[in-house]
Every structure is written in structure tokens, then in C-alpha cells.
Amino acid sequence: MANLEHESILLAHGGGGSLTRLLIEGTFVKTFSNRILNELGDSAVIESPGRQLAFTTDSYVVKPLFFKGGDIGKLAVCGTVNDLAMAGARPLYISLSLIIEEGFLVKRLHAIMDSIKVAASEANVIVVTGDTKVVERGAADELFINTSGIGALSDGISLGAKQVRVGDTILLNGSLAEHGISVLSQRGEYGFEANIASDVAPLAGMVQSILAVAPNIHFMRDLTRGGLAAALNELAVSAGIAIEVDEQSIPIRKEVLAACNMLGLDPLHVANEGKCIVVCAEDCDEKVLEAMRRHEYGKDAVRIGRIIEHKKSIVIGRTPIGGKRIIDMPSGRLLPRIC
């Protein structure tokens, strides 16, 4: 991909002229080449993939752009693919829009596009349309990405908070807080280093395996910003139920826990990018758990709690010493504390 003679992105790359064309054809079409994208029409024209579609969009502004375990490109694919997967949909198409700060190094752009290619291929989606804007130095922080995605739902799949019932089991596909701590440690702001990789991963494959054995699961949610605590609290409120979680059952890797303790962060509040909860009826939880564990991104899957009867829509944690406490909704930005 040595077709771009410039080392860094110029405002002209977004100007709509010959440099824009060069960027689109030399980089994007070359990297993501497929029949629909290659048309380069004003819109991608796609086959209607099924009776019910899932459609989602998300923007990615992570800093640093490259972190252990991934980069903004992989994140931009996985985040959107996972949102489709959580609706029970099979992801098919994504769009890719870039806002690039003037002066951004072309070779870094290429590295990120390559990473998008790999992630999209793993997630079985194709990039069918896109957009590029270049803004003046200082008007954006290096690179922002927006992706939208379309997925198809199989007949009979109906997931949502309204399906959740008292007695349902809550399953989690693996250990928590790795993305948040990885990124935080690599910002270098707090003089704290840790060799922790982000968990960023596309979950659509695992979800399809779950739906194959148990199409009647009730609810799924990926645990991004706000972590497990936010996802559980949102579920409790939107389903009008309460949740009890056995804290000891929640897997957290030792080094992640140590970093959280040091920074005074609750691992249940920290972001993940490859984790989700699955809520299903108690009588099929073993089957779902097995399906999850057979998959690479669910091999550490566990039961963490259940839906309970309670007058308030709250999340209650059973602590290791047998106590009970509220698992709260995170508030504000996570900041390390004094001691």
C-alpha cells in the first residue's frame, strides 16, 4: 500500500479532489474490496437479508489509538458487531466513517485499516460504504471512527428486557475490566503500567452458537462503558425486576484486580469490549453455558446471578463474607483516588 506518496494526511485528502480519490481507491477499496463497496455509489445497495433487520451505530474516540490487544479499528468493528449480536442478529454489513486530524501519519492509518480488515473478516461482515473527513490540526484528536451496522434476525428470535422473568439465570462470558484497565494503563497519565491486554473481540460467533442451541434465551447485553454494573442496573430498571449477583463467582484476573485496587476503581464499573451477559430461563442455563464455553470468547463463562423478586429495581451483590450490598450505577468519569 505504498500508493500514497504523502507521509501524513493533508486537509486536501478530505477535499473531494484527486487526493481524496487516491485515498478512497488506494486505501479503502483496496483494503476492503467487495462487490458492493467497489461500486463506489452514493449509497451501498444491498440485498434485503431477512424479514427483520437490526441496525446500529456507534462512534469510537479511544485514546491511545493503539493499545495492547487491539486498536481503534478493531474496536470500531467489534463494538458495532457486538451491538448487532446482542439483538440476536447475524451481522452482515458495516459502514466506516473517519474523521482524521490533519497531519495524521498515513502508515498509522494503514495499520488501522488492516486491523479493521482482520476484525471484519473474523466477524463475517463486509464494509459496504464509508466517508472520510479531514479536519484542521487540533479540531480532532488524531482519528475518530464511526461505524454503523446492519444484521439479520432469524425467525423466532425475540430478545429484550421484557422477556426477562423472575428466576432467570444470568451468565457472563469471561473475566471483567480488561479493556478499561488496559487502555488506562497505556495512557501513561497515572504513571502506572500493567501488561494487561484489552478483551476487545467480536461476539457474534459465540452468540450464533448460543442461539443455535437455545433460540429462546431472554436477553443479552454487551458490557461496555459502565461495565457489568451499568448493564445490570439498566436491565433491572427496564425490566422492572431486581437482580442478585454472587460476587465471588465473577471472574476478574489477578493483575486486573490489583490495578483496580491500586487506582481505587470498582472492576464492575470498568469498561469491557468483548464481554456480555446472557439471561435465560433456569432450565436451559446449562445448555447455554456449554455453548458459550465451547467458543473461544466464552471459554471462561460462568453463572453470576439470577433475577429475583424485590420491590425495587436494584442490583444486589452477595459479598464473599455473606453480606449484601447494592451494586450501583457508575456515576461520572472514573477517576483514580487518593489512597
Q: Are 317 and 247 a contacting pair, CB within 8 Å?
A: yes
138 binds other proteins (CB under 8 A): no
**Any idea of the CA torsion for 278, 279, 282, 288, to the nearest 10 degrees?**
-20
265: enclosing H helix or E strand? none
State the burial class of residue 290 (Cβ atoms within 10 Å of its Cβ: 0-12, 13-18, 19+).
middle
Q: Contact between 320 and other proteins (CB under 8 A)?
A: yes
DSSP conformational letter for 12: G
Encoded one letter per residue, x for contact with other proteins by CB under 8 A and - for no contact, window 270-309 reads: ----------------------------------------
Where b means 16+ CB within 10 Å and e means fewer, 126-143 reads bbbbbebebeeeeebebb
Residue 321 binds other proteins, judged by CB under 8 A: yes
Check binding of 139 to other proteins (CB under 8 A).
no
Beta-bridge partners for 152:
53, 90
Answer whether 208's CB lies under 8 Å from 90's CB.
yes
CB of 323 to other proteins, least distance (A): 2
Question: Hey, which residues between 223 and 242 contact other proteins (CB under 8 A)?
Answer: none
Task: Find out whether 150 and 85 touch, Cβ atoms under 8 Å.
Answer: no
34, with CB counted inside 10 A (0-12, 13-18, 19+), is middle
If one asks whether residue 314 binds other proteins (CB under 8 A), the answer comes out as: yes
Q: In this complex, which beta carbon is closest to other proteins, that of residue 18 or of residue 331?
A: 331
Among residues 67, 275, 248, which one has the least CA distance to residue 175?
275
Identified binder of other proteins from the candidate list 48, 191, 195, 309, rule CB under 8 A: 191
242-271: which residues touch other proteins (CB under 8 A)?
248, 254, 263-264
Residue 39 has a CB neighbour count (10 Å cut-off) of 13
106-114, 138-146, 189-197, 218-226 -> range binding other proteins (CB under 8 A): 189-197
Residue 326 binds other proteins, judged by CB under 8 A: yes
In the complex, the smallest distance separating the C-beta of residue 187 from other proteins, rounded to whole angstroms, is 11
Closest Cα to residue 256, out of 197, 168, 172?
197
From the list 70-78, 134-142, 271-279, 315-323, the region that binds other proteins by CB under 8 A is 315-323
For other proteins, which is the closer residue by CB, 255 or 300? 255
Using rule CB under 8 A, residue 2 touches other proteins: no
Instruction: Tell me which of 25, 141, 189, 286 binds other proteins, using CB under 8 A.
Output: 189
CB of 230 vs other proteins, minimal distance in Å: 13
Which stretches of the chain bind other proteins, using CB under 8 A?
189-192, 248, 254, 263-264, 314, 316-317, 319-326, 328, 331-332, 335-339
